[in-house]
Chain A
Amino acid sequence: MTNNNLLEEEIRQLVSNVTEVPFEKLTLDADFFKDLNIDSLKAIEIVAAFEKKYRIIIPEQDIPKIRNLRKIIEYKTSR
């Protein structure tokens, strides 16, 4: 497995744990809100869990842009 694949699996697991969305349903492009019924409280939990694990602060203005797994992974890899 490449580092990118490992990171993808790690973040997928983190999001799955927080949202209780089954691992297999969390595809890269599934929209958290429209496709997975994740509400705003779960969204802030994802952000807080991500910040804690990777010690990266996600500024408030960036949060609405992070609507799927791909965007979170990109957020991590771009830093």
Chain B
Amino acid sequence: MNWDKKKIKSVLPHREPFLFIDEVIETIGTEKVVAVKNVKSDEKYFKGHFPGNPVMPGVLLIEAMAQASIILYSIAKPEIAKLHPDYYLGKTKAEFLSPVYPGDKLIIEANCIKIIDEAGIVDTSARVNDRIVAKANLIFSVQKKNE
């Protein structure tokens, strides 16, 4: 079943303009999430990155992939996720393979390598149509509030 914005916001603490997942279009158990980010021409960061030559910043591609990873975590660890813990990105190994422009539809995949209560390792990728634009291995920690 697809996830709409309401369901996504029930899991992710992020909000516009820093919410980079519009829809979840596929989930495979606790192994995989496929999500969509529609890159709109009026995204604020395009004003400065770069004037007259709008390109989505690589760090925001990582952010989108990290947000998809949190959704994957929430499926693997629903009891913890519903307590709205803090998520901290700890380590990133990323490759940027192709630029992302206004109007592109980003398809983001997050594949579980290892998820435990306090942390996760997820392999992610982002593509536009059939072209992989970025890949990243993300390691994050999860801390319950007031821990």
Say if A and B assemble together: yes
A48/B114 contact (C-beta < 8 A), A40-B141, A41-B139 known: yes
With both beta carbons as reference points, the residue of chain A lying nearest to B142 in the complex is identified as A40
* Distance (whole angstroms) from the CB of B25 to the closest CB of chain A: 27
CA distance A51 to B71 in the complex (A): 23
* Distance (whole angstroms) from the CB of A19 to the closest CB of chain B: 12
Q: Which residues of the partner chain A approach B113 to less than 8 Å between Cβ atoms?
A: 48
Q: Is A24 an interface residue, CB under 8 A from the partner? A: no
Asked whether, in the complex, the Cβ of A44 is within 8 Å of the Cβ of B117, the reply is no
Q: Which residues of the partner chain B approach A47 to less than 8 Å between Cβ atoms?
A: 114
By DSSP majority rule, is chain A's interface helix, strand, loop, or mixed?
helix
- Number of residues on chain B facing chain A (CB within 8 A): 13
A-B contact count (CB 8 A): 27
Asked whether, in the complex, the Cβ of B117 is within 8 Å of the Cβ of A41, the reply is no
Q: Which residues of the partner chain A approach B141 to less than 8 Å between Cβ atoms?
A: 40-41
Chain A, interface residues (CB within 8 Å), range: under 10
* Distance (whole angstroms) from the CB of B109 to the closest CB of chain A: 18
Q: Which residues of the partner chain A approach B56 to less than 8 Å between Cβ atoms?
A: none
27 A–B pairs (Cβ distance < 8 Å), ordered by A: A40-B118, A40-B119, A40-B141, A41-B90, A41-B91, A41-B119, A41-B139, A41-B140, A41-B141, A44-B114, A44-B116, A44-B118, A44-B119, A44-B120, A44-B121, A44-B139, A45-B91, A45-B121, A45-B139, A47-B114, A48-B113, A48-B114, A48-B121, A51-B114, A60-B116, A60-B117, A63-B116
